[in-house]
DNA sequence: GTGGTCTAGACCACG
DNA sequence: GTGGTCTAGACCACC
């Protein structure tokens, strides 16, 4: 699994780690039952304090994504995939909703918003073929 | 002008205030040359620490939206309307973009995203006629 | 509110703190909307590291018992009372259930278990009048 | 003798093993003088680290339940039955006591607690006929 | 003043 | 080896 953190983007490091673990689960890069990299290893990889990784993993346990196996490590729970996919969709929906609501409140009608969406979709498509 | 802050939503209060001043300018509720309520009055109205209002106003000055008039108060600058409209559009675009990009990354294609957009638009429309 | 921790009883300190906050809420010693003692004050009172108190308070936020008010402190949420009472009843039920199940499995019948319960109730009553 | 461990329930595995040995003794499944399965066999059966089984057996020796017989294995001591029965009753009593004390402290009177006990007893009875 | 994040390093229980 | 707890102390954003 690939992880990357940026200490200067304002988002807490432990949150970046937790989010990326969830992404890896949602995308299948981490399979149910598999072990997540150990706290110490992940900390070394990211050049981050082990406590920071531990906090991310602790939050993931609270979310039901990770399960501790005593003395062995942390494994992906069976429900993890569902949880992570659901959370990701909620995130997308939430951002869309707030953007569109903002537009309505600013006086745009549905067609103007659709136009905005199409503009962004084209830009995305362009960026993907020519990154 | 109508202002409202919520201490529980995670967004800094000074930012909520600044944003709402900008909204009022963008929507015409605050006209060029008009004065914004004094720090003390605004703080009283919102039941908020005056320092917090002062910080919001300071940021608005830095953004070129407010201009201090000695002994009188803070007035809306001539370029404020343009700035606020532009910023608002940028905000909407930004949220749309990040939502759509997230969806793409999660494997959705353009049509699936359009469907999501339509769902949210209908919900918005419904919420507006029956809030 | 009265709090006491014992660093040597095996239960993590942050958990002892969180539990006692919940008890105080359940018993009415802490009222909805009231602020919990600040991290630093509580840490001083208990002669414990502030991080430890912070962790307890963080867990209480995750449980929906505390709500952060930026720059001001942590307040008891409206749902806190219900949550804490419910949790306490669940705790009692759970212990009773496991004790009784254990007894059944060890071959005791319902009447033998009732006798045990009555013995413990008398001892409790005696201890309460003459602690 | 039947043994089963669960790595996910928070109770140390060596403790689960020790407890189940004691249960087997208390219930007569293991007789005085009989040998307990070897560390290696037990470890294989449970798919567990041999060190873990060794630790369980070590604790059982410290408790006077097992006695090492040079070159042969570990046998159930004569006083084991008594010890295990006693311990089991203590466990039941302790849980009952703490549950009832908790209830008293939460303001319940003896009759309310008796009602709780009856509820749990009925549930247990129901679960036993239709597990 | 408040809480939140991060680091560094010690100690422990478990396997 | 694993994760969990706790301490100490620094720095930051917010009010």
pLDDT tens sequence across D49-74: 999 999 999 999 999 999 999 989 99
CB-facing half-sphere around the CA of A35: CA atoms within 13 A: 12
CA of B13 to C1' of F14 (A): 9
The pLDDT tens digits along chain A (131 residues) read 889 999 999 999 999 999 999 999 999 999 999 999 999 999 999 999 999 999 999 999 999 999 999 889 999 999 999 999 999 999 999 999 999 998 998 889 999 999 999 999 999 999 988 87
Round to whole Å and give the CA distance between A26 and A13. 20
Q: From the centroid of its chain, how far is CA A79?
A: 16
Round to whole Å and give the CA distance between B99 and B116. 11
> Is C95 in contact with D92 (Cβ distance < 8 A)?
no
Residues 6+ apart with CB under 8 A from B86: none
pLDDT tens sequence across C33-51: 999 999 999 999 999 999 9
Torsion of CA C87, C93, C97, C98, to 10 degrees: 40
Backbone torsions φ then ψ of A33, nearest 5 degrees: 90, -25
Overall pTM surpassing 0.95 (yes/no) = no
Q: Tokens in use for D96?
A: 């009952």
Q: Tokens in use for B106?
A: 């999660």
Q: Tokens in use for A119?
A: 């503009």
Residue with tokens 């995939």: A81
Round to whole Å and give the CA distance between C127 and D64. 33
Strand E proximity: list residues 15-54 of D with CB under 7 Å. Answer: 15, 48-49, 51-52
| Long-range contacts (CB closer than 8 Å, 24 or more residues apart) made by B63-67 | B63/B18, B65/B21, B65/B22, B65/B25, B66/B21, B66/B36
Is residue C81 over pLDDT 80?
A: yes
* Mean pLDDT, residues D96-117: 94
pLDDT tens sequence across C16-35: 999 999 999 999 999 999 99
CA of B66 to C1' of F8 (A): 45
Residues 6+ apart with CB under 8 A from D2: D24, D29
**Which chain B residue lies closest to A85 (C-alpha atoms)?**
B106
Q: Tokens in use for A10?
A: 């304002």
Q: Which residues pair with D67 in a beta bridge?
A: D75
Any atom of strand E under 7 A from CB of C90? no
**Banded model confidence at residue D131, pLDDT cuts 50, 70, 90:** low
Q: What is the pLDDT of residue B131?
A: 67
Residue D6's CB is within 10 A of a number of other CB atoms, namely: 9
Distances A70 to B117, D14, D42, D70 between C-alpha atoms, Å:
45, 11, 19, 32
Round to whole Å and give the CA distance between A24 and A47. 20
Q: Which strand F bases fall within 7 angstroms of a protein CB?
A: 1-9, 13-15
- The low-confidence residues of chain B, meaning pLDDT below 70, are 131
């Amino acid at each position: 699994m690939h992880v990357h953190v940026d200490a200067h983007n304002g988002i807490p490091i432990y949150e970046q780690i937790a989010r990326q673990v969830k992404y890896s689960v949602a995308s299948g890069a981490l399979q149910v039952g598999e072990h997540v990299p150990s706290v110490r290893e992940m900390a070394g990889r990211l050049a981050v304090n082990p406590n920071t990784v531990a906090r991310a993993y602790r939050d993931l346990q609270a979310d039901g994504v990770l399960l501790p196996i005593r003395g062995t490590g942390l494994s992906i729970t069976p429900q993890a995939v569902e949880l992570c996919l659901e959370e990701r969709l909620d995130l997308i929906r939430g951002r869309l909703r707030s953007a569109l609501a903002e537009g309505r409140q600013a006086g745009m009608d549905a067609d103007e918003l659709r136009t905005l969406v199409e503009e962004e979709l084209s830009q995305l498509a362009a960026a993907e073929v020519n990154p």
